[in-house]
């Protein structure tokens, strides 16, 4: 019969701990070997626990249940996507039919400006000794806009006649004589009842209107040019405005002018709703 201390089992445990001899300190290599053996045992236990029959911490029945859950979940998602795609393909109109709801778009004919204004409505030029970077940047913007409108790079250098040669070629104008391209938006099966011309009005600024020379090309665009359909080779019609500001530059250091441009029907009896495009030319 074993004897116990008066204070009970807890005192016995404390006594046994206090009487244990201190463990020998392990070397670094021995600690590493112990850690490796422990890791190996844990890894084997994680892959397959023979006592519980678990594989990767789950029993075969648990793996079957979670596999069935994800199979049902992703099957429902795939079916939902297939239904949405089917509805989309059934309701989308064919290329020959064009868009079904185009009333909002065709109510007003708009244009895009090239070079695209750097600010909200301003085409800005900076007074520099070397204007070559500005010309290259302006030419790049115009060429990109014409390319998106359907004009190839080879066609762009010969779009305009000789009388508009200042707006053609590598620079597309200069800061004192800027050239602005107004490219009509593409509207499916849109065809105006009459030919359209282009009009620009000087609204405000420090320009002297009598010193401003404005040349527009072409004088008119026939209705057939606006008929955008399924033809991939369609080229958006455009007008070019050559703004000659040289006489204003002789009078002022900084020049700016706000203009308003828009389509005008050649036949005045025809009423066409068009968007008026305001833009400002600045030279500081």
Torsion (CA) 242, 243, 247, 249 in degrees, nearest 10: -120
Q: Is the pLDDT of residue 229 over 80?
A: no
pLDDT digits (tens, 9 = 90+) for 72-103: 999 999 999 999 999 998 888 776 666 666 65
83 domain-assigned: no
Give residue 171's pLDDT: 60
Higher pLDDT, 194 or 124: 194
6 domain-assigned: no
Provide the domain count of the chain: 1
Higher pLDDT, 7 or 139: 139
The CATH number covering residue 204 comes to: 2.60.40.1660
Q: Tell me which residue of 113, 276, 97, 106 sits closest to 192, measured CA to CA.
A: 106
The Cα–Cα gap between 277 and 203 comes to 12
Higher pLDDT, 211 or 270: 270
143 domain-assigned: yes
Tokens found for residue 264: 């005008």
Q: Is the pLDDT of residue 3 over 50?
A: no
64 domain-assigned: no
98 domain-assigned: no
Question: Residue 241 belongs to what domain range?
Answer: 106-283
23 domain-assigned: no
32 domain-assigned: no
């Amino acid at each position: 019969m074993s004897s116990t201390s008066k204070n009970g089992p807890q005192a016995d445990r404390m006594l046994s701990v206090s009487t244990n001899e201190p463990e020998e300190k392990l070397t670094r290599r021995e600690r590493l070997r112990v850690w490796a053996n422990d890791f190996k045992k844990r890894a084997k236990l994680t892959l397959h626990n023979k006592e519980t029959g678990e594989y990767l911490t789950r029993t075969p029945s648990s793996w079957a249940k979670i596999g069935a859950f994800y199979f049902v979940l992703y099957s429902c998602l795939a079916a939902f996507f297939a239904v949405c795609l089917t509805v989309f393909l059934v309701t989308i109109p064919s290329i020959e039919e064009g868009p079904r709801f185009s009333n909002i778009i065709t109510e007003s004919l708009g244009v895009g400006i090239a070079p695209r204004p750097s600010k909200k409505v301003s085409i800005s030029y900076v007074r520099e000794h070397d204007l070559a970077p500005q010309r290259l940047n302006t030419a790049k913007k115009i060429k990109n806009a014409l390319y998106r409108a359907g004009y190839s790079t080879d066609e762009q250098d010969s779009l305009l006649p000789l009388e508009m040669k200042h707006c053609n070629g590598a620079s597309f104008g200069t800061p004192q004589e800027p050239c602005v391209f107004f490219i009509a938006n593409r509207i499916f099966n849109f065809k105006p009842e009459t030919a359209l011309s282009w009009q620009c009005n000087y609204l405000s600024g420090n320009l002297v209107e009598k010193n401003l020379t404005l040349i527009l090309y072409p004088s008119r665009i026939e209705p057939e040019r606006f008929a955008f359909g399924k033809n991939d080779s369609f080229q958006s019609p455009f007008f070019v405005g050559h703004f000659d500001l040289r006489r204003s530059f002789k009078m002022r250091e900084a020049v700016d002018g706000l203009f308003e441009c828009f389509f005008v029907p050649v036949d005045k009896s025809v009423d066409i709703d068009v968007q008026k495009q305001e833009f400002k030319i600045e030279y500081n």
